[in-house]
Amino acid sequence: MADIHLKNTIDKACFVTLGPRPMNRNRVSEPTRPSIRRSASLGLAGLLALSACGDSADPETGATDGEASGETDAETNGARQVSYYEHVRPLLSEHCVSCHSDGSIAPFRLDTYQEVAALGPAIAAVIEARTMPPFGVRADGSCRDWADPRWLGDDDIATIAQWVEEGTMEGDPTIEAPLVPQLPTLEGDGIERVALPNYTPHASPEAGFELDDYQCFLVEFDGDEDRYLTGFDVEAGNDKLVHHVLGFRVDPAFLGNGETLEKLDALEAGPGWDCYGAAGEGVLPQGVPVTWAPGQGAVHYPDGVGVRFSPGDVMVVQMHYNLLDSQGMDQTSINLQWADEVEREGFQILWDPFLFSSIGGGGGETLEAGAASVQYAWNASFESMLSLDGLAFDSIDILGLIPHMHSRGRSMDINIDRGDTMACAADVDRYDYNWQRTYFYEDPITVGMGDRLDVVCDFDTTGIDAPVAAGFGTQDEMCLVGIFFAPSE
Ligand code: HEC
């Protein structure tokens, strides 16, 4: 049953944009992976191929991900005794304390010996699994190099594991406290501070939100000239509440967006409207130039690149509030850095054939209910994706990606399909809806219009009785990739 459904979903998905695909692909010099062919036989075999792919060998040690390289590291560390003040505190200060300190978003502090020692095994576990610090794409060099990856090195992971194993020794408290690194800030001219309305987030148990609130606010701009966004920062009003901030660029003239925004705004008495999937039910954004989560600091787009806002374009800001630790009012501000001109215009395309299937009436596609692993796959040429926005270039440089699913999304496997080769573009093997962001490449990926983006989303629908639809709502799912690019020079 599961396989049949999977096959149907995938065949349909691929049918949307898929041409004939060559069977044999060669490896190319960019980081590659075996091609995963989706065909009638993608059932168990396909799943096995996928999990094999996730377990790729560490290029340096040859060890697979499953077996931590801790063994060898533990040997080198074995001679010394690991203590909190000497070895552990500097690592946590660098990688954890920006969020895990008093008044910040994380639910507990990691800057005192007592707290850290009490949580030792949990800390070792999340560090080992590399789910903390949150950075959802695999950053061990097996699939691209990322700007500012947050992953701890294997040696540091081994140090913390050893400290916990040896009984969390305190060590010498007179050792000077390490500095917590400063987050990047915006510098230079053209910074505009946009204050969002005062808002008191509240739970909506009837909508399934016991501890979270997602609220969208409309930001309009003056001026009658094009201008370009080159970077941004967020000043959370209440650090304990603000879990993420997304700023969508919306052209009100695009497919009824203007009317949809008016309707949404009229639905609620106070400022803004409820939203979850993107900018609100039915709004079709032109990109997400702002993606921010705590502990991130300012983002500068790659040198010379800016995203154009034309007169009339608005920004819909989605605030995600988490009420686990705190309640109360918030007023967050967003700092936007503008330039009148840029060397290269940056563009964003949000693509999701699964979501598209649900738009415009008629039943959309669905995911099978009650399965620990349900996949949705799509494959689309850059030519077709760009043409929806009326864009065409000889080639483009992909600067970064935004992987986006909802709460049932587990992983996303994103590849560049160059016809005869498949190259890894992002291995999102620890997806967490709570951490929405743009992952920027260290070196952009150049693609031609005939190249394709190949995406496999994996969902866990355990505990759900009815097929899961695509859509913007909390119970719906998406298999969306935001592509941030600039035309090649
Ligand atoms: C960018 C902010 C941020 C950074 C950096 C960060 N954390 Fe977290 N951490 C959180 C938040 C927020 C939570 C609460 C769960 C959530 O929202 O994902 C959390 C939860 C946890 C948990 C509870 C288990 C879990 O996964 O929910 C542990 C343990 C943890 N963090 C340890 C660490 C350690 C150790 C580091 C550094 C190596 C670290 N964190 C770095 C924000 C952060």
Rounded-to-integer distance, Cα 384 and Cα 18, Å: 10
**pLDDT tens digits, one per residue of 4-47:** 333 333 233 322 222 223 333 443 446 444 333 332 222 222 22
Query: Are 158 and 209 in a shared domain?
Result: no
Query: Are 254 and 388 in a shared domain?
Result: no
Rounded-to-integer distance, Cα 161 and Cα 467, Å: 42
CB neighbourhood size of 433 (10 A): 16
Is 434 close to ligand 1, i.e. is its CB under 6 Å away? yes
**Mean pLDDT of the region 230-239:** 96
Residue span of the structural domain in which 309 resides = 183-342
Query: Are 154 and 212 in a shared domain?
Result: no
| Within a domain: 175 | no
Atom 32, ligand 1: residue with shortest CA distance: 123
Domain CATH code at residue 35:
2.60.120.230
**Domain final residue, candidates 301, 327, 342:** 342
**pLDDT tens digits, one per residue of 160-205:** 999 999 999 999 999 999 988 888 999 999 999 999 999 999 988 8
Residue type, 149: P
Which atom of ligand 1 lies at the shortest distance from residue 152's CA?
A: 38
Query: Are 233 and 327 in a shared domain?
Result: yes
Query: Are 274 and 155 in a shared domain?
Result: no
| Within a domain: 94 | yes
Atom 1, ligand 1: residue with shortest CA distance: 295
Query: Are 376 and 445 in a shared domain?
Result: yes
Query: Are 324 and 440 in a shared domain?
Result: no
Query: Are 375 and 413 in a shared domain?
Result: yes
CB neighbourhood size of 208 (10 A): 13
Domain CATH code at residue 231:
2.60.120.310
DSSP SS3 for 214: strand
Poorest-pLDDT segment among 17-21, 267-271, 306-310, 469-473: 17-21
Query: Are 325 and 375 in a shared domain?
Result: no
Domain total of the chain: 3
Query: Are 213 and 356 in a shared domain?
Result: no
What's the pLDDT score for residue 30?
62
Tokens (6 digits) for 230: 């080159």
**Domain final residue, candidates 342, 366, 387:** 342
What's the pLDDT score for residue 373?
98
Is 120 close to ligand 1, i.e. is its CB under 6 Å away? no
Is 104 close to ligand 1, i.e. is its CB under 6 Å away? no
Query: Are 394 and 466 in a shared domain?
Result: yes
**pLDDT tens digits, one per residue of 104-150:** 889 899 999 999 999 999 999 999 999 999 999 999 999 999 998 99
Query: Are 117 and 218 in a shared domain?
Result: no
Contact indicator for 477, 277 with CB cutoff of 8 Å: no
| Within a domain: 6 | yes
What is the model's pTM?
0.82
Give DSSP secondary structure letters for 48-104: HHHHHHHTPBPTTT--BTTS-THHHHHHHHTTSPP-IIIIIHHHHHHHTTTTSSTTS
**pLDDT tens digits, one per residue of 270-290:** 899 999 878 999 999 999 999
